[in-house]
Structure 1
Amino acid sequence: MTNSSIETLLQEAGLWQGPVTLRPLKGGYLNEVILVQTGAAKLVLKRFAPETTGTLFPNRPEDEARALKRLEGLDVAPRLLGFWADASMMIYDYVEGSPWQSGTADVARLLLRKEAADPDGFRRVPLSPADIMAEGDALFARCNAPPPPRPAPRDLAPPARLSLIHTDLGPGNLIGHGTGLWIIDWQCPAAGDLAEDIYSFLSPAFQILSEHAVLTTSEQDAFWHALARPDLKARYLALRPFYAWRMAAYCLWRAETRPEAEVRDRYKVAYAAELTELDVQDAG
């Protein structure tokens, strides 16, 4: 989009405050994200790629808009300022800061704030080990390389309550630090198990895919100390092998199908890292 077309959009939405300047932002692996400065105001314009299917991370503009509205006032996510469903485009407040680098306790406290959000109306994601592994089965079936051994199945009661979860909580989607830490890129939210968001933050694959070092034991200990929820830690530990097996499937599939060589290589490293969460080694 040009400066003039964005300026017209801002004027029609009542967001124009002066001359417009644009700067592309790093928007993950899929959508176009632009920093828009109009007068003294800084906004983010997000243009969505077509909705993805058959993946762990669907790209759903309407769901992101709904999530941002649901989270308003909780100091968790940026404020939605405009959404144009027909154009697959939205504008929200710009969050100052850089992607998360350190301070796992800050992430724990952020997740606790998020728990106040109502998950009703969002897509449901698997809660049981069997259903989580079934998603991994479907992904491994698309791969040329053979899958690693499956974790031994087990019965596990569903969580006492569902949470509004982000599902892709790597460092690249955490902006700022301390009490000013926010979660962005809510295009694949769900009603699910908070243990899944905990896993996506602590997981080596999510750290690697955000080009961050795998978390140390002390960093993970600081996270659990700040969370102060032994029930959630026990649930996470029970589910971790199944989430890891499914994420390994996703990484292997992406390592075989992404067009960019450097991205394929990153997924290969992430795949190998997830195998360590299974206590198995890649035989290939």
Structure 2
Amino acid sequence: MSGAANTLDKVRGLALWRGKVDPRPLTGGITNTNFLVEDAGRRYVVRVGEDIPEHGISRAAELAASRAAHAAGVSPAVLHAEPGILVLDHIEGRTFAAEDVRADLDRVVALVKQAHEGVQLHLRGGAPAFWVFHVVRDYAHRLDAAGFRLKGELPRLLTLAERLRRAVGPVDLVFGHNDLLPGNLLDDGKRLWLIDWDYCGFNSPLFDLGGLASNNGFSPAETERALTLYFGTPPDAALTHSFQAMLAASLLREAMWSMVSEVHSSIDFDYRAYTEDNLARFEAALETLDQL
């Protein structure tokens, strides 16, 4: 039996279904395999994925964060969980694109801040940390050991990462989502939802804000507005510098995430092109930082 057929059988065989179900694959995921299931007049999203040590993904941490995020009012309810399977309430709505994030910045930033302030209050058990500079170092070690095609670039990237760490400076901690791609935001027509807590962990709020800006093509004016909305006052020179350093670090991490995925992932996605795109954006972010 193929892996895909085995996965479908696992989803069909979940104990919570009342009748026979026909799981439909959801496209767009580049970390997990996701299905839409309708059963007894209700819709569910089934996320299938094991721990991914090379990316620091723990399904136990994702489950705890998903439950806490629902309790905090930012994410859909967890309806069932077992090893390798997470079943969530399906949100009838529209998945955001980057232009939607930019057009609805007030609500998006409010949702991110609500998540940062609220999820940690409902979290139970041990909690992960997501410190981008550790992540980058770990990725570099893995890529070096694998003899990755860009192995010769790793020393320079690590030197730049250390420079960025120093530029970021001291940080506050929040419980971050750490993967603010537009596809992780949903609009049901009344409110916004934040989904997919694979990369959750305590982090600086600047990482999510930097990811939000870099993943959604913010202009300088939109970036300043997002920071003003989040912090309640226009950013001063020190915050702007720290933020830009973290934005660059988030792009470096995204590029190196893609490099590691080139080596390890079996998902049908052009990771090589994604690597090159994010490396180019990282270099552009460095240039912007140098001009501040």
TM-score band by shorter chain is 0.7 to 0.9
Are the equivalent residues in 2 in contact too, given 1:170–1:201 (CA < 8 A)? yes
> Which residue is 2:96 aligned to?
100
1:157 to 134, 156, 170: 170
CA RMSD of aligned residues (A): 3.3
Name the structure 2 match of 1:59.
Answer: 57
Q: How many angstroms apart in 1 are the aligned matches of 2:134 and 2:281?
A: 21
Q: What is the CA-CA distance between 1:4 and the residue it aligns to?
A: 7.8
Unpaired runs of 5+ residues, structure 1, are 127-131, 208-213
Residue type at the aligned position of 2:52: T
Match of 1:28 in 2: 29
Cα distance in 1 between the residues matched to 2:206 and 2:250: 14
**Matches of 2:70 and 2:269, distance apart in 1:** 39
Superposed CA deviations along residues 145-189 of structure 1, whole A, max 9, x for unmatched, are 423562363583331xx3221111111211226752111111221
- Report 1:1-284 matches (<5 A): 6=11, 8-9=13-14, 12-13=15-16, 16=18, 20-48=21-49, 50-55=50-55, 58-85=56-83, 88-101=84-97, 102=100, 103-114=104-115, 115-118=117-120, 121-126=126-131, 132-133=132-133, 135-140=135-140, 142=144, 143-146=150-153, 147=156, 150=160, 151=163, 153-154=166-167, 156-159=169-172, 162-176=173-187, 180-203=191-214, 206-207=215-216, 214-230=217-233, 235=239, 237-242=241-246, 244-245=248-249, 247-248=251-252, 250-252=254-256, 254-255=258-259, 258=262, 262-279=270-287
> How many residues are treated as equivalent by the alignment?
257
Change (3 A) 1:104 1:116: same
In the alignment, the residues of structure 1 paired with residue 231 and residue 270 of structure 2 have an alpha-carbon distance, to the nearest angstrom, of: 38
Deviates more, 1:63-72 or 1:150-159: 150-159
User: Relative to structure 1, is the Cα distance of residues 274 and 41 closer, same or farther in structure 2, using a 3 angstrom cutoff?
Assistant: same
Question: Partners in 1 of 2:90 and 2:194 — Cα distance?
Answer: 12
Percent identity (aligned) = 19
Partner secondary structure for residue 81 of structure 2: strand
Q: C-alpha displacement at 1:226, in angstroms?
A: 3.1
Q: Tell whether the 8 Å contact from 1:107 to 1:223 is kept in structure 2 after alignment.
A: no
Deviation of 1:268 after TM superposition, in Å, equals: 0.7
Classify the secondary structure of the residue corresponding to 2:22: strand
Structure 2 portions without partners, runs of 5+: 1-5, 145-149
Distance in 1 separating the partners of 2:61 and 2:235: 26
Q: How far apart, CA to CA, are the structure 2 residues paired with 1:227 and 1:79?
A: 26
Amino acid at match of 2:129: R
Alignment check: 8 A CA contact 2:255 2:275 kept:
yes
> For 2:175 and 2:250, how far apart are their aligned partners in 1?
20
Question: What's the CA shift for 1:79?
Answer: 0.5
Q: Could you tell me how far 1:105 is from its partner in structure 2?
A: 1.9
Change (3 A) 1:155 1:111: closer
Distance 1:59 1:177, change over 3 A: same
Structure 2 length normalisation: TM-score?
Answer: 0.74
Q: Please give the TM-score of this superposition, normalised by the length of structure 1.
A: 0.76
Q: Is the 1:52–1:59 contact (alpha carbons within 8 Å) kept by the matching residues of 2?
A: yes
**Aligned-residue offset at 1:246:** 5.9
Give the 3 Å change call, closer, same or farther, for CA 242–106 of structure 1 in structure 2: closer
| Letter of the structure 2 residue corresponding to residue 240 of structure 1 | Q
Shift of 1:29: 1.1
CA distance in 2, matches of 1:155, 1:256: 25
> Structure 1 counterpart of 2:66, which letter?
L
- CA drift of 1:44 comes to 0.6
Residue 235 (structure 1) shift: 4.3
More helix by share: 2
Q: Is the 8 A contact 1:252 1:267 kept in 2?
A: yes
Judge conservation of contact 1:136–1:247 (CA < 8 Å) in 2. Answer: no
Any idea what the Cα deviations from partners look like across 1:2-45, whole Å, max 9, x if unmatched? 88864552xx33x53x5533211125212110000113211011
